[in-house]
Amino acid sequence: MSKRQAAASGAAEYLTIAFTYFTVGVTVSVTLVDRGVDTGLTVGAAFMVHSATSVLAYVAVSDAGGAMIAGLLSGWLVASRFGLLAATLGARLHVGVPERVLAGLNAFDPNVAMAVREDKPGRVRSVFWRTTAMMIGGWIVGVFLGLWVGNVLGDTSRFGLDVVFPAALLGIIGGALRRRDALAAAFSAAAITLILFPALPAGLPILLSVAGAAVGVAYSQRQQVPS
Amino acid sequence: MTWAAAVFLMLGVAGQRLFGMFVAGSLLARRPLSRSFADLVPVAVVAALVAQLTFSRAGSLEIDARLAGMAVAAVLVWRRAPFAVVVVAAAATAAGLRAF
């Protein structure tokens, strides 16, 4: 690849990330506005929590009638991946404490993945912040546009917006699902929830689906044992 | 969503990010099995949410246009379609079925 082609594909990657986070921002706002959440709280929740998956997980559990604590636990559990991503980034980022705090608070899937691909410490830092800027830029515009879209649409299930919600979540984990152990974890977790859902209090089946992660680990352990 | 929920979610999410940045790296490096379990927790919980959002309606299981939309979404995710395409196609499929 020539230098020019490399630059072009790099720019395309940044734009794709910005557009993805724009769409995620729209989804989060529309989802909250659709549930009667006012403008201030929709924007506040989006920017304070700083994790679309956490907000959507909380909303999904409270929609099902789950207690607040069950919603919070689900929101925290799905964000645990950001802790792991921050750990991965932390090992490669050689900067002072204030910048480490800021970088940690902004650890998302694409910016960490793109940063740790780089070899030189200086490049890790610049690629991380550049990707972060693109993501957050797209996210901010998306959240505000979503406010407007949510208010204009009215009856959202007519537009299939109740499917936007699960489809967005599926899209978020789509990359991870290419691994066999992740697929095993995902299918077991889904099965656990669907079996327990009619019997247990709302929210509990989601929390118990964590057991699916153990199935995934068991699966990968079995693959490693030579037969 | 309430302000209290937003604040608690924020504290939990930011706390985990900082814990990861400053503490978890060295802890997890020494425990590969915990690391792979922790790796899979978010995927498992999100998959459970997807299942619930696809099949549940007012406390019981129900199959409707949502399933068709999600089938389209699954195929598109598998084919590595852009995020926006996945979301819009899923919504359009469900909306299309409901229009009939």
- Listing DSSP states for chain A in one string gives --HHHHHHHHHHHHHHHHHHHHHHHHHHHHHHHHTT--HHHHHHHHHHH--HHHHHHHHHHHHTT--HHHHHHHHHHHHHHHHHHHHHHHHH----HHHHHHHHHT--HHHHHHHHT-SSHHHHHHHHHHHHHHHHHHHHHHHHHHHHHHHHH-SGGGGTHHHHHHHHHHHHHTTGGGSHHHHHHHHHHHHHHHHHTTTSPTTHHHHHTTHHHHHHHHHHHHHHS--
Residue of A nearest to B51 (CA): A190
Query: For residue B60, what are the β-bridge partners?
Result: B57
| Whole-number pLDDT of residue B28 | 80
- For A75-103, write each residue's pLDDT tens digit: 999 898 899 889 989 988 999 999 999 99
| Whole-number pLDDT of residue A116 | 85
Spell out the residues 6+ positions from residue A57 whose beta carbon is closer than 8 angstroms to its own.
A71, A74, A75, A77, A78, A206, B45, B46, B49
* A80·B98 Cβ contact <8 A: no
* A84·B47 Cβ contact <8 A: no
The minimal CB distance from B48 to the residues A50, A72, A209 is found for A209
Q: Quick check: B31 pLDDT over 90?
A: no
* A19·B84 Cβ contact <8 A: yes
Q: Quick check: B36 pLDDT over 90?
A: no
- pLDDT top residue among B24 and B9: B9
Q: Measured between CA atoms, how close is A81 to chain B, in angstroms?
A: 6
> What is the β-pairing status of strands B56-57 and B60-61?
antiparallel
| Whole-number pLDDT of residue A216 | 94
| Whole-number pLDDT of residue B84 | 85
Give chain B positions within 8 Å (CB) of A64.
Answer: 52, 56, 59
* A57·B70 Cβ contact <8 A: no
Average pLDDT of every residue of chain A: 89
Residue of A209, A194, A65, A160 lying closest to B46 (CA atoms): A209
A positions 186-205 inside 8 Å of B (CB): 186-194, 197-198, 202, 205
A positions 68-87 inside 8 Å of B (CB): 68, 71-72, 74-87
* B1·A77 Cβ contact <8 A: no
| Whole-number pLDDT of residue A156 | 64
| Whole-number pLDDT of residue B51 | 95
| Whole-number pLDDT of residue A225 | 63
Return the ∠ at Cα B83 (arms to B82 and B87), rounded to 5°.
Answer: 120
Could you say which residues of chain A have pLDDT below 70?
A: 1-3, 9, 154-157, 225-227
Give chain A positions within 8 Å (CB) of B4.
Answer: 68
Give the span between the Cα atoms of B84 and A116, in whole angstroms. 26
Spell out the residues 6+ positions from residue B38 whose beta carbon is closer than 8 angstroms to its own.
A80, A83, A84, A213, B28
Tokens of A76: 């925290």
| Whole-number pLDDT of residue B1 | 92
* A68·B5 Cβ contact <8 A: yes
Residue of A125, A133, A186 lying closest to A15 (CA atoms): A133
Give the span between the Cα atoms of A4 and A193, in whole angstroms. 49
Q: Report how far apart, in Å, the C-alpha atoms of A74 and of each of A106, A111, A199, B51 are.
A: 20, 23, 19, 14
Residue of B57, B46, B91, B69 lying closest to A56 (CA atoms): B46
Give the span between the Cα atoms of A185 and B59, in whole angstroms. 24
- Residue environment code for A96-107, b if the CB has 16+ CB neighbours within 10 A, otherwise e: eeeebeebbebb
- Does the CB of A168 have a partner CB in chain B at under 8 Å? yes
Spell out the residues 6+ positions from residue A150 whose beta carbon is closer than 8 angstroms to its own.
A29, A30, A31, A32, A33, A34, A42, A156
- For B71-99, write each residue's pLDDT tens digit: 999 999 999 998 889 989 999 999 999 88
| Whole-number pLDDT of residue A154 | 66
Helix crossing, A39-49 with B3-19: angle to 10°? 10
